[in-house]
Amino acid sequence: MTSTAHVQIPGYVVGTWDIDATHSTVGFVVRHMMVSKVRGYFRDFSGEIVTAEDPTQSSVTATIDLASIDTRQEQRDAHIRSADFFDVENHPQMTFRSTGVRADGADWIVDGELTLKGNTKPVSLALELEGFGPDAYGGTRAGFSARTEISRAAFGVDIAMPMDGGGVVVADKIVVELEIQGVLRTA
């Protein structure tokens, strides 16, 4: 199962991996009130990663339950779930589907399509392979870290909340940060 034909990645394992949401984080950072940053997370998400013999043929799909947002402040979370932001009543999920993988030095770029609030846009994730190895239960695990920046307005999350004296309450630029652990499927 270890591939050395196309890549020089220590311990690289070919296979299909289920995202282990218990040991993974799907998070974001956004500038708030022009003076600080707020971090948020999604508690419920799932996905599949396929590591191919040739890593450039690998793929990923993921689904995120937008109602599971957690910024550690329930009133803010309720507002983000509303039609002002995610409109979870009409758009309960955000999805990502990769369209390509390419090398970037020692790291990788995963190109794909992100769909949020009915809008699909291209997104490129800067990916680091954290490693592959056995777990305590006789299985195999893989670790991936990824990061990207998106414009919330480009996805229709375009509420404008200007502040007196200039600036906005919530910035347009969102930094997405992923720490993903995959569990290798067994036949």
Question: Each residue of 84-97: pLDDT tens digit?
Answer: 889 999 999 999 99
Q: Which long-range contacts (CB under 8 A, 24 or more apart) does 79-85 make?
A: 80/40, 84/159, 85/157, 85/159
Query: Would you say residue 170 has pLDDT above 90?
Result: no
Which pLDDT score is estimated for 24? 98
Q: Please report the pLDDT score of residue 9 as a whole number.
A: 75
What CA–CA distance (Å, rounded) separates 34 from 178? 24
Q: For 9-59, how does the pLDDT look when each residue is reduced to its tens digit (9 = 90+)?
A: 778 999 999 999 999 999 998 876 556 788 999 999 999 999 999 999 999
Angstrom distance (rounded) from CA 111 to CA 56: 11
Six-digit token pair at 165? Answer: 């004296």
Which pair of structure tokens corresponds to residue 182?
A: 């995959």
Q: 43 with 53: CB under 8 angstroms? A: no
pTM over 0.75: yes
Q: So what's the pLDDT on residue 156?
A: 83
In DSSP notation, the chain reads -B--SS---TT-B-EEEEE-GGG-EEEEEEEETTTEEEEEEES-EEEEEEE-SSGGG-EEEEEEEGGGEE-S-HHHHHHHHSTTTT-TTT--EEEEEEEEEEEETTEEEEEEEEEETTEEEEEEEEEEEEEEEE-TTS-EEEEEEEEEEEETGGGT-----B-TTS-BSEEEEEEEEEEEEEEE---
Give CB contacts under 8 A, 24+ apart, made by 70-79.
Answer: 70/40, 70/41, 70/42, 70/43, 71/38, 71/39, 71/40, 71/41, 76/38
Determine the length of the chain: 187
Domains of the chain (ranges; CATH) run 15-184 (2.40.128.110)
Q: Contact 140/13 with Cβ under 8 angstroms?
A: yes
**The pLDDT value given to residue 35:** 65
169 — pLDDT class (breaks 50, 70, 90): low
| 125, β-bridge pairs | 110
